[in-house]
Amino acid sequence: MSASECPEYPVAGREGAIASPHYLASLAGARILQEGGNAVEAAVCANAVLGVVYPHMCGLGGDLFMLIYSAREDRLLGLNASGRSPALATRSFFSQRRFTSIPSRGILSITVPGAVSGWSVALERFGKRNLGELLEPAIHYAEEGFPVSFRLSHWIKECSTLLSLDPESRRIFLPGDSVPAPGQILRQGDLANSLRAIARGGAEAFYRGPLAQAIARFCERRGGLLRAEDLASHRSDWVDPIHTSYQGYQIYQLPPNTQGLAMLLELNLAEGFDLAALGLHTADYIHLGAEIKKLAFADRDAYLTDPDFAQIPVEWLCSKEYARRRIREIDLYRANPEPKPGPSLAGDTIYLCTADGEGNLVSLIQSLYLPFGSGLTVEGCGIVLQNRGSYFSLREDHSNRLEPRKRTLHTLIPALAFHRGRPYLVFGTMGGEGQPQTQFQVLCHLLHFGMNLQQAISSPRWLMGPRSLGDPPCLYLERGIPEEVEGGLEERGHSVRWVERGAEFFGHAHAIQVEYRSQGRIYWAASDPRSDGCALAW
C-alpha cells in the first residue's frame, strides 16, 4: 500500500498512545499501558517484540537510545545505551592486515550490544514491572512464531546472499534454503530461550552470564575481536539532552556520540528563511533543504564522535551565531558540491514512541545498523549481532577514528519537542543518515504547511545522500512530489533520482503529538505507511 492510499488522519486518545513500525509491537505496548503500565515499560515491551518480528532492523544484538520525559519530575532525560568497540580493536590491527576501512559486514564489524543494558537501566529508574513480565510477548512470538510481513520477506530476500554465508542465519531466516513468503510462520526458538534467560537474570545474564560467554566464544572462534571482558565492562549512561529553539518551539536531541546535533544545525540554518513562502515540494524549498543538510552533515562528520575521546564544541555548534556564519555559504541558485565544515572556537533501525495517562513520554530508537547487522547469528542463542563498528574510520586524522573501547558516531536520534514549556511532539524515524532530514521535514510539515500529524508523516519526502553503501550522493525524490521540480533542481546542479512512493529508503517516521484543551490532554498518534506499523490511542 502506498503512502497516498493510507489514512491521512492520526488517531486520538486521552489515556495513552503508541506508534511503532510493526502492529504486533504496537499491540503489545498498548496492552502494557492499558493494564496500568507506564510509557517506559510499554516502550521496552514493544522494543523487545520488534526484535523478534523485525529481526532485520533491531534486536538483542544492537544499540539503543531513549529520551524520557518524566511528568512527575517535569524533566527530560537522555539515555545512551550504545556499545563500545572491543579492547582489541585498534587501527594497527586493521592496517597490519591491509584493511583501508573496517568491513561493513562480518565478525570484524561487531561492537558491544547496548540495548539490553538500556532496558535495564531505564526500568531501574522508571519501571514498576519486572523485565521478565515485559518480555513475555516477545518470548511468545519467538517461540510460537508470527506471520512474516511483506517487508520482512523482502529484506530476507535482499539479504539472502549475506544470510546464506552464516550457517545459523541461514538456518533461522532461510528455512529449507528458501525465503519465507509473506504470511509464513517464522519461529526463533533459540531467541526465545535467550529472552527467557534475560527475563530470569536481567542484564547480568547478557553481559556477564551464559549469554555473554556464548557471544564471546562465538566471536573469538570466528576470528573477531569482541571478548567477555568487553561485555562485562559495558555501561549505559544518563545524559543531558541538547536543544535549540525553532519558531518558538524547543527541539531536543541526544548529544554526541549521536548525530542529533545535525538536526539542530538544520533547524538553526532553516530559521533564516521563510520556508512557507517557498512553498511545499517546490524546487526552491527542496534545494534549500538539501543545501542545509550538506552544511549540517559537513559539521557532523568533522566534529562528532565519542565525547570521552574528544572535546566537541556542542554549545557553539548549536548556537544561533554559528548558524548566522554558516548561512552565508548557502546559494539559493546553485548547489554546493563540496561544503566544508565551519570553524570551531578552539539500510536500518526501528523507532517507537509511547505516552501514558500520567503524561510520561518515551522516544526510543534501536538498531543493528545495516539490515541484519553483521549478518552473523550467535549459535544456540538466536542473537543477530550488529555491525556498528563499520562506522568507525581508520584514518588517524578523522574525528571518528577507531580506538579501543570507544563509542562510534551514531546515526540514531530520538527527538522530543516542547512548546510553551510543555511537551508538544515525540518523534523520530529509522533511516540512517536520512534521520535528521526526515525529522526536519516532518517538523516543517507541521509548523509551516498546516498538516495534521498523519499527513506530516505520510507526505512524500526528499533525501540527500547515497541510497546504499558505495553509491554516489544524489538528491532522491519520492514519487508524489511534483515532477516539474526536477528541472529546477538540475539547473541548480543537483543530480536527481526518483524513488517509488512508499519506499522504506525514506524512513519509518512515527510520532505522538500532545494537545492541551480545557477538557484535558489529548494524544494524537501517527505511524508511517512506509512500515508495517500502526498507531494506537485510547
Distance CA 55, CA 64 (A): 15
**Catalytic amino acids?**
349
Residue-wise pLDDT tens digits, 42-63: 999 999 999 999 999 999 999 9
If you average pLDDT over every residue of the chain, what do you get?
94
Is 80 exceeded by the pLDDT of residue 366?
Answer: yes
Residue-wise pLDDT tens digits, 262-295: 999 999 999 999 999 999 999 999 999 999 999 9
In three-state secondary structure terms, 510 is: strand
Q: Over the Cα atoms of the chain, what is R_g?
A: 22
Is 80 exceeded by the pLDDT of residue 400?
Answer: yes
Which DSSP string corresponds to 125-144? Answer: HH-SS-HHHHTHHHHHHHHH
Is 80 exceeded by the pLDDT of residue 460?
Answer: yes
Distance CA 463, CA 432 (A): 11
**Half-sphere exposure in the Cβ direction for 34 (13 Å, CA):** 11
Residue 195 burial (10 A CB sphere; 0-12, 13-18, 19+): buried
pLDDT band at 3 (very low <50, low <70, confident <90, very high): very low
Using the structure block, give the residue that is written with the C-alpha cell 515525540: 426
Cell readout for 167 is 550457517
pLDDT band at 1 (very low <50, low <70, confident <90, very high): very low
State which amino acid sits at residue 256: P
Is 80 exceeded by the pLDDT of residue 2?
Answer: no
| Residue ranges of E strands in 28-152 | 63-70, 75-81, 146-147
Residue-wise pLDDT tens digits, 505-522: 999 999 999 999 999 999
Residue closest to 49 by CA, chosen among 120, 133, 139, 132: 139
Residue closest to 457 by CA, chosen among 473, 474, 485, 478: 478
Residue closest to 41 by CA, chosen among 118, 153, 126: 126
pLDDT band at 343 (very low <50, low <70, confident <90, very high): low
pLDDT of 6 reads 42
Residue closest to 508 by CA, chosen among 480, 533, 535, 473: 533
The domain limits of the chain are 24-237+361-391
In three-state secondary structure terms, 81 is: strand
Q: How far is the CA of 177 from the CAs of 81, 106, 189, 298, 431, in angstroms?
A: 35, 20, 18, 43, 29
